Amino acid sequence: MLSLSLCLDLGIVNLAVLEVSLQRGGTAGFLLGIGSCLGDLIYFTLVLLGASVLLEAAPVRWSLWILGTGALLLLAWRMARDVIRPNPVTFNGRPELSVRDRTNLLFTGIGMALASPTAIIWFAAVGGSVIAASAGDQNSRWRFGTGFATAGITWAALFAYGTASLRALGPGIVRGLSLVSALLFFYFAGVVFLNGLKTLL
């Protein structure tokens, strides 16, 4: 349940999984989602090690503010570009993914999870305290972590393959959702930037 509370948020990772699933198929979106789960597990592990206080450090918050805003603007620009000049999408059959494509998707997912303002705030304010309180001895930590990861992977699969099924509706749905995604990314970039101005300056 704790993991799903993070997964169900309409953040940059879910928007990116939606876009990739529509453009390149469910497997590509699922790999991006798996990468995001790995990034979340890194934060999860840091919380268990008591390192969540690092998120309170000013240099870390400055870095995450700048990188997060930049990443959101880059993603918004890429999705806006797909609206103006859409990439060719194959609606019959599944696009082949090379080993390099799979690796890139995994590492992109990890990077997005680590740079996601939503995830940072969630782990610092909500998840950190719940994880610390719920994971007592070593056995319970292992079970708690397994449940956390299982929920994230299940969400990644359902969301990616469910979104990819919309490809059957044709190219128009891809462009429409790309436009919505671009607007939301611009919105999130503005929110992250303004919040950074208020809290850091």
CB 163 within 8 A of CB 18: yes
CB 92 within 8 A of CB 25: no
CB 74 within 8 A of CB 3: no
- First CA to last CA distance, the chain: 35
Q: Could you tell me the pLDDT band of residue 130, with boundaries at 50, 70 and 90?
A: low
Q: List the single range of 69-73, 155-159, 166-170 with lowest mean pLDDT.
A: 166-170
CB 38 within 8 A of CB 31: no
- 177 vs 80 pLDDT, higher one: 80
- 156 vs 11 pLDDT, higher one: 156
Taking residues 140-156, what's their average pLDDT?
A: 87
Dihedrals phi, psi of 60, to nearest 5 degrees: -65, -45
Report d(CA 32, CA 87) in Å as an integer: 19
Report d(CA 46, CA 165) in Å as an integer: 36
Report d(CA 46, CA 140) in Å as an integer: 17
Residue 148 confidence (pLDDT): 87
Report d(CA 39, CA 66) in Å as an integer: 19
- 189 vs 170 pLDDT, higher one: 189
Q: Express each pLDDT in 29-39 by its tens digit.
A: 999 999 999 99
* Percentage of the chain lying above the pLDDT 90 cut: 12
- Other CB atoms within 10 Å distance of the CB of residue 92: 6
pLDDT at residue 129 greater than cutoff 70: no
Mean pLDDT, the chain, as a whole number? 76
Q: Which residue has the tokens 């919105």?
A: 187
Report d(CA 112, CA 70) in Å as an integer: 12
CB 54 within 8 A of CB 63: no
